[in-house]
A = this chain, B = another copy of it.
Amino acid sequence: MQINQDMAMNEKARTVVLARRPGPDISVDDFALVDQPLPEPGEGQVRVRNRYISVDPYMRLALSDRNGVSAAKPLGEAMTGGAVGVVEASRAPALPPGTMVTSQFGWRDRFVADASAVQAVSAEGVQPSWYLGLLGLTGMTAYAGIEYILAPAAGETIFVSGAAGAVGSVAAQLAKQRGCRVIATAGTDEKVAWLKDVLHLDAVANYATTDLAAFLARECPGGIDHYFDNVGGPTLDAAITAMKPKGRIVVCGAISQYNTPNYCAGPGEFFKISEKGITIVGLNVGMWFDRGKEAFGDLAQRVATGKLIWEETIVEGLDNAPQAFVSLFSGQNRGKMVVAVDPAR
């Protein structure tokens, strides 16, 4: 018994921490992989081995000098966020070994936590990684933005930026299934082709090589009814300019701005919202999980019946989490980017 405990106390977990505050050129060198002691679970605790961790654009916000609503993450602190794994040791009867759980402890291979800090999830009928996307933050974000906030009507025009990304690809499909005309942007010709040929969106442009104002004017001569903003910056300005009077915008993300010195800065065309009577709704997904049961049930059903295409880009190995994260900002992913954690060493 004493021997076992000593062995356990010598166990380590691998964790990715913030090593340096990222500048405009965020880099893998801004992160470091460190070993940390892994205690035995105490009474009511579990030890979890992660299978997948999530890397999402919003994680950039806490790394910024320019504070938003919360303070900047201190250097040396672990990257947090969604993860899904399996209980491998337990002193909590409700979560026996083998239970699949989601958590918010982020970029690490193993951790020990109170049972109340993890959520047991079913491993049946879904891929574990879906809990980080379709049935997690990503799916809830897209669902809240389209179904609860914008709720576009059939025949209305909606513009979705970043439409090949995790949130954008679901939002665009949900809007399409409501009978909307869906206009979209993405960052490579390959993504544009996927959005047109596979997701059947109505008009798609590569924002890097297209005059957005001209594209929107051509494709939406009567103006845009709704805009689902994942990117901010010049695209948000172009959308505001192209909106119909009384149009509605949901501001979900601003990935084009997160590496700038002041990601909080407003759009250049902001005051047009008053002249046009436009409504802008900020979307913080954390405020919508109380409707998760309905949303996730609907999303899982649509994927199961082939109505919704759920795409993932899976990067292998915790060591590669920083690279996976950094690559989000140059648009290397199609759909949801997740990191598969190394098997037990």
- A interface residue numbers (CB < 8 A to B): 61, 68-70, 232, 245-246, 251-254, 257, 262-284, 287
Chain A facing B: main interface SS: loop
A263 to B273, CA, bound (A): 12
Q: Are B276 and A282 in contact (CB under 8 A)?
A: yes
A-B contact pairs, 25 of them (CB 8 A): A68-B271, A69-B276, A245-B284, A246-B287, A251-B271, A251-B274, A254-B274, A262-B268, A264-B269, A264-B270, A264-B272, A265-B270, A265-B271, A266-B267, A266-B268, A266-B271, A267-B270, A272-B282, A274-B284, A276-B284, A277-B287, A278-B281, A278-B282, A279-B279, A279-B281
A59 to B269, CA, bound (A): 18
What copy number does this chain have within its complex?
2
Shortest distance from the beta carbon of A120 to any chain B beta carbon, whole Å: 28
A280 to B250, CA, bound (A): 10
A131 to B268, CA, bound (A): 35
Shortest distance from the beta carbon of A250 to any chain B beta carbon, whole Å: 9
A-B pairs with lowest CB-CB distance, top 9? A266-B266, A266-B270, A273-B282, A274-B282, A264-B271, A277-B284, A69-B275, A280-B280, A266-B267
Cβ–Cβ < 8 Å partners of A263 in chain B: 271
Q: Are A280 and B276 in contact (CB under 8 A)?
A: no
Shortest distance from the beta carbon of A168 to any chain B beta carbon, whole Å: 15
Cβ–Cβ < 8 Å partners of A266 in chain B: 265-271
